[in-house]
């Protein structure tokens, strides 16, 4: 099996959803031109990150799946013969919305979706106001390039999510992401946060013997209620191999189409020398189903 060339599209998002989508489609074409077979987009890539505030009007941005964004991504996937992993603010029913990753196979069909399971509620990230926790579980999506374990942003901090995707047969873990710093974060705190973000995901790669793709947005996006505040998304999209080794990484403050070859066959070799799945004590893990051991 030849290595799989993957591409991560790291972008700034402006106020015009159609312009953002157009630039995304242009980036998909660029990735395909470089020989990519799999393209990962960042979280909620069609618009600015609206969860900095709680505003009922923002629900107007939601759309069904299938819908306009999946149609556009599916057309691009079919035209260029690539698998595309995108992100949609999904309107499932009145009053029921999800943060949903969508997977378009190389023939343009909707191969599957993943609804974000872990929903944050922190200053600047008021996602619980908008998103219902996912109900599709941790199921990889079969595509022409392999079984994709797709998770979303806040999921990346939870080893249980990565493990369950691995146990279900995922061949690679993918994280569309929107994470950054606030204006109050000191430089040393910024460094700790970003290093922790990378370390956690590289740990998932090591613990599960799987490559990891993490695609983050970049650029500054103001808080609509407080224009002098907001989030500076730290970019830094990266790909690492099954031993956590960095294969490629983007800058913090630049748009880019990051491409690199990933050897999916290395999973077999790594798991032979580091057989973590073999040595799991599944007879002793029942307490993991508790919130906390008092």
In a domain, 62, yes or no: yes
Q: Is the pLDDT of residue 108 over 90?
A: yes
What residue numbers bound the domain in which 103 lies?
4-289
Averaged pLDDT, 234-257: 98
In a domain, 140, yes or no: yes
Q: Domain containing 284 — which CATH number? A: 3.60.110.10
Averaged pLDDT, 252-276: 97
Averaged pLDDT, 217-246: 94
Q: Is the pLDDT of residue 193 over 80?
A: yes
* pLDDT score for 258: 98
Q: Is the pLDDT of residue 8 over 80?
A: yes
In a domain, 294, yes or no: no
Count of the separate structural domains present in the chain = 1
Q: Is the pLDDT of residue 201 over 90?
A: yes
In a domain, 133, yes or no: yes
* pLDDT score for 227: 80
HEC sequence for the chain: CCCEEEEEEECCCCCCHHHHHHHHHHHHHHHHHCCCCEEEECCCCCCCCHHHCCCHHHHHHCECCCCHHHHHHHHHHHHHCCEEEEEEEEEEECCEEEEEEEEECCCCCEEEEEECCCCCEECCEEHHHCCCCCCCCCCCEEECCEEEEECCHHHHHCHHHHHHHHHCCCCEEEEEECCEECCCCCHHHHHHHHHHHHHHHHHHHHHHCCCEEEEECEEEEEECCEEEEEEEEECCCEEECCCCCEEEECCCCCCEEEEEEECCCHHHHHHHHCCCCCCCCHHHCHHHHCCCCC
Q: Is the pLDDT of residue 109 over 90?
A: yes
Identified catalytic residue from 13, 51, 90, 116: 116
153 is catalytic: yes
Averaged pLDDT, 23-51: 98
Identified catalytic residue from 153, 171, 215, 221: 153
Averaged pLDDT, 83-102: 98
In a domain, 153, yes or no: yes
In a domain, 42, yes or no: yes
116 is catalytic: yes
* pLDDT score for 226: 83
268 is catalytic: no
Give the percent of the chain with pLDDT over 70. Answer: 100
In a domain, 79, yes or no: yes
* pLDDT score for 228: 81
Identified catalytic residue from 43, 90, 171, 221: 43
């Amino acid at each position: 099996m030849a290595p799989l060339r993957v591409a991560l599209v790291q972008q700034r998002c402006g106020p015009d959803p159609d312009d953002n989508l157009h630039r995304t489609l242009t980036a998909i074409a660029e990735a395909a031109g470089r020989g990519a077979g799999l393209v990962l987009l960042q979280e909620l890539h069609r618009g600015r990150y609206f969860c900095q505030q709680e505003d009922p009007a923002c629900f107007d941005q939601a759309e069904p799946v299938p819908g306009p964004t999946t149609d556009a991504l599916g057309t691009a996937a079919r035209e260029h013969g690539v698998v595309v992993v995108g992100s949609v603010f999904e309107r499932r029913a009145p009053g029921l919305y999800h943060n949903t990753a969508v997977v378009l196979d190389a023939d343009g069909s909707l191969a599957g979706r993943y609804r974000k399971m872990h929903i944050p509620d922190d200053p600047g990230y008021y996602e619980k106001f908008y998103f219902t926790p996912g109900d599709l579980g941790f199921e990889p999506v079969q595509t022409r390039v392999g079984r994709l374990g797709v998770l979303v942003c806040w999921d990346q901090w939870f080893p249980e999510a990565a493990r369950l995707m691995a146990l279900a047969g995922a061949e690679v873990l993918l994280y569309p992401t929107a994470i950054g710093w606030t204006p109050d974060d000191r430089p040393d705190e910024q460094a700790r946060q970003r290093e922790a973000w990378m370390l956690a995901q590289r740990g998932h790669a090591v613990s599960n013997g799987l490559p990891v793709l993490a695609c983050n947005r970049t650029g500054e996006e103001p808080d609509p209620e407080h224009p002098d505040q907001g989030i500076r998304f730290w970019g830094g999209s990266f790909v690492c191999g099954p031993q956590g080794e960095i294969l490629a990484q983007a800058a913090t403050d630049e748009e880019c189409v990051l491409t690199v070859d990933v050897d999916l066959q290395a999973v077999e070799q790594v798991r032979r020398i580091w057989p973590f799945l073999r040595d799991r004590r599944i007879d002793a893990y029942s307490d993991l189903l508790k919130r906390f051991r008092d």
